[in-house]
Structure 1
Amino acid sequence: MRILAISGSLRQDSFNTRLLRALPPLAPEGMEIELFDGLGEVPLYNQDLDVEDPPEPVRRLRTAIAEADGLIIASPEYNGSIPGVLKNAIDWASRPMAKSALLAKCVVTMVATPGRALGRNALSDLGRVLHDCHAFVISGPWVHLNDAGAKMEDTEAEDGGTTTVLTDPMTRRIVDIQLNSLQQAVKDEAGRHAVVPLLPFIQPRT
């Protein structure tokens, strides 16, 4: 099972990107998690560019989402909501509606924040936006990693690079619940239920 992980932050040392890097060792057996790199290259959504041959970064984003069995999206909270770069990527991925890469896709949402009071609005808005794109969002308990700097550690990976380890036991437990729920939702094709309201519009009339 191939899961695509997308960080809503472009910052090099983003807490949300580090959170996603910590997930592969915690994934259930049979699940592979791949981190998407390239969100910052996606242009601002412009319907004039949304043609049969869209910009290459858009094609790459749509293909990566479409070919994944499920998604994990980790987002910071900016001014009480999700960052513009993430909303922009979702706007591109959700079109054209009838062939949207997000259509019926099972998604886990997460938030990592250095503070204690931020994150709930981002989780709520991200879930609502994905619901409107007819994706299936796994319900809580959500991974809401506050005081993130104290709950993660960067270590050297086997390949010489850098990886991240979640040190907070409760967060690790919720990650386990969410990833196992995502795996089961994909196996059960739970995303089909998210598409039901859209079917009258995308199915040919007989």
Structure 2
Amino acid sequence: MSTKFNVLIITGSLREKSYNAAIGRQLAELAPDNLVFSHAPSVGTLPHYNQDVQDAGFPKEVMAFADAISAADGLIFVTPEYNYSVPGVLKNAIDWVSRLRPVPFDNKVGSIISASGGAIGGARMQYHLRQILVAMNIHLVNRPEIMVGTVQNKTDGEGGKITDETTLTFIGNHLKELARLLQLHHDDQSQKAAS
């Protein structure tokens, strides 16, 4: 029997009918049975990062977000691209969590999925986000990359489910690779603990 892994979905959009949020809600249908999904608190609930606020005590919204990350085996960032880069609310959330000790992101397995109305599907954002997540020591899925371009033509309506079969296959393969990396990471950590 394969190991069950808890995977936290972190959405980088606050829009009610966000395509990225819709993809996040659809992942469980496309994933291997050993991945169990939950959704992180909205990144929009965290205040702007300010060291003065940190020094007075981490806000409860930050701690709730960080606790969800700590409890997860794996992370999936599902996010749009804003102005060629990472949405500010997502970067803000990462900045807050990076200040905790130990850092909840450290040594997690993760992946990135993006969707946009443009042709390249958030590619520029993905490479910026990868740089940030390397700093967090997150081990990322490299292939297949999931950048859903012209997403509005691949769903059953605005903010709806992906219906494009090619896209669904790519996402399914991405989740299989995430499951494989989670198992390898789990086995490696178990071996180190036993030695």
Instruction: Classify the TM-score, shorter chain.
Output: 0.7 to 0.9
Is there any run of 5+ residues in structure 2 with no aligned partner, and where? 190-195
Please tell me whether the aligned partners of residues 22 and 164 of structure 1 are also in contact (alpha carbons under 8 angstroms). Answer: no
SS in structure 1 at match of 2:185: coil
Q: Secondary structure at the match of 2:113?
A: strand
**Alignment correspondent of 1:144:** 147
Q: Structure 1: state its 5+ residue gaps.
A: 155-162, 194-206
- The alignment yields a C-alpha RMSD, in angstroms, of 2.3
Equivalent residue number for residue 199 of structure 1: none
Larger relative helix fraction: 2
Other structure's SS at 2:83 match: coil
TM-score for both structures, normalised by structure 1: 0.82
8 A contact 2:115–2:151 mirrored in 1: yes
8 Å Cα contact 2:19-2:160 kept in structure 1? no
* CA 118–182 in structure 1, closer or farther in 2 if over 3 Å, else same: closer
What is the match of residue 177 of structure 1?
173
1:187 equivalenced with 2:183 (yes/no): yes
For 2:29 and 2:133, locate their aligned partners in 1 and report how far apart those are by CA, in whole Å: 26
Q: TM-score with structure 2 length normalisation?
A: 0.87
Contact 1:73 1:110 in 2 (8 A): yes
Shift of 1:26: 0.8
* Amino acid of the structure 1 residue aligned with 2:170: I
Q: Which amino acid aligns with 1:106?
A: V
Taking structure 1 as reference, are residues 101 and 176 closer, same or farther at Cα in structure 2, changes over 3 Å only? same
Q: Does 1:40 align with 2:44?
A: yes
Identity score, percent: 32
Q: 1:86 is matched with which residue: 84, 90, 97?
A: 90
Could you list the structure 1 runs, at least 4 aligned residues long, displaced by more than 3 angstroms after superposition: none
Q: What is the aligned length?
A: 185
Residue number in structure 2 paired with 1:126: 129
Change (3 A) 1:47 1:188: same
8 Å CA contact 2:120, 2:147 repeated in 1: no
Q: Report how far residue 33 of structure 1 moved.
A: 1.3
Equivalent pair of 1:2/1:34 in contact (CA under 8 Å): yes
Secondary structure (helix, strand or coil) at the match of 1:43 reads: coil
The question of whether the paired residues in 2 share the 8 Å contact of 1:38 and 1:57 is answered with no
Shift of 1:165: 3.0
CA distance in 2, matches of 1:150, 1:169: 12
